[in-house]
Structures are given as structure tokens and as C-alpha cells.
Structure 1
């Protein structure tokens, strides 16, 4: 994702799927960029702070989470990372420009067309994997032409390299 982030920020890529907070950061760095949400809808996400069951520093982790939930800290974090906040106290402290950004805080009609990603389960994952493998295995015409095409490209590239070297050597001798 970092490579696309850099390319989008530098204007070297025309389009890319991206996280909303990163899109906001990229648009801040490159005003020529814009973000769009498909009219059919998109996924909605929730970032979570969790403490592993066997954490050795459980109290420190709890203190960190509590610290991040303080309204001023949550607002500063939101402002810094570009992502929205569910913390109502932090939301109140944000600049109106941030609160009115439809990428960070989409309007109700956009939210109505969002859905949470849910685990598909082992059975469905296996069925999807098996289907994909079958699709790839059945496409013999693709692999039949791929190897000769790659060999032809390699031969052409080799000829071009040899011709260029010979031309360069000829120029250097005169």
C-alpha cells in the first residue's frame, strides 16, 4: 500500500482503491487528487485497540487505551492520522473542516449503503479457493500461449540489446 500511497501523492498513478484516512492525507499533499465512494456502496470499518489475553503489561495497555480515549488526545490523533473518530468528545473538539469532510464522515445516504465485512467461514473460504484453483487449471489456452509469448519477448529483447551494443561499439570506434 505504501508504494501506491507514494505514487498517488506524487501524481504518478491515476486511480487506486484506498483507505479513507490515507486518501485524506494524500489529498492534503496533492490537491489534484479526489476521493469517490461507489454509488453502490462500500465497506465500513472499525479499528479496535485490543489487549492480548496473555499480555504481560496489561495495566500499561489499559492506561494507553484510556489515554487515547481522552477527548483532546482522540481529537489530536484524528487530526494527525486523517481517520474519523467514534469518540464524541473528540469529535466536538475537531475543526469544522474535518467534521464536514464527506470522506471521513460520509452523509447518512452513503452510510445506508455500507456494510461490515464479516468472516466467511472455513467452508465458504475453501469453496472460493477451490473454485479459483479450478478456474486457473481449466484455462489451458492461457498457459499454452504464455510460454511461447514470453520466449518470443526474451528473444526480441536479446536481439535489441545485441544490436544496441554493436551500434554503440561502432560509434565509439569512429
Structure 2
């Protein structure tokens, strides 16, 4: 017998479930052997996350579509498939442990990373060249914040020091 893998499968259908705990519970009961979770996608569709154990991604995909499709038809009726995403459970766990918001820094942090003064950093962050490489990630209380990794990448590729003065011809 070939080795098996646990697959995390997200299946989305172009339908909504009634706002009724009994319907949600019935769908979860139908899928109980697959550790289900229900969600509402940003567009309002119903999303179902289950675990399937199978030797190949193709078999996991087929099994998930059959399993979730049958459960949804039993509880709610038919619905059109909107999409499917499948990955190993190990990959899902890895992704779930990634930070949802990358580390951010403000202008004093930019100054530290670039090794320049605060005034230099304030001027630098408004330059088109800096903004092309390091866009503002968010603004809080009128203060710009930048993704630390972007600033560090910019610092690694830039030539330190003042730019050469333009010469008159």
C-alpha cells in the first residue's frame, strides 16, 4: 500500500448557508470524520476546510470534492463549485505560524537601519527612489510605517553616503 499524506483541502461553493446553527451543525456532522471547519468567504460564499488522507494530491482532491459535495447537497441542496485549494497539512501548519503582519518600522527605525540621522531618514523616505523600493505599509497618527524587510533590502543594495553633487556645465 502506498504511503499516505494528510491534505488540507479548502472547498468553496457559490452559495450561502442560512444563518441557522442547525444547518451549520448538520453540515459539520456530515463531515465529522474529516475535522471540518466552516467559513464565509469575503464574497459571501460558503467555505469548508477539511482534512483528507490520501496517497496523492489528485486522489485527495477527488475525495474532498465528493465528500464536501455530498454533504452540502444532503444539508442544503446543490451549489456550483467556486474553487478549491489543497496543500499538505504540514504546509498549512507552516503558513499558520507565519506572522500575519510583517514587522514594521517608523522613520527612526529607518534611520537606524540605514545608518543615517533622523532628519536624513525623514528626507529619504520622501524620495521617489526610496518610495519605489520601500512603499509605505501603513500610516498611524500621520506617521508612516514601512516593512522592515523592505528597508533592509533597500539598505543592502544602496551605496552609502551622500549622492554626488551635480556639476554645472
User: Normalised by the shorter chain, which TM-score bucket?
Assistant: under 0.3
Normalising by the residue count of structure 2, what TM-score does the alignment of the two structures yield?
A: 0.23
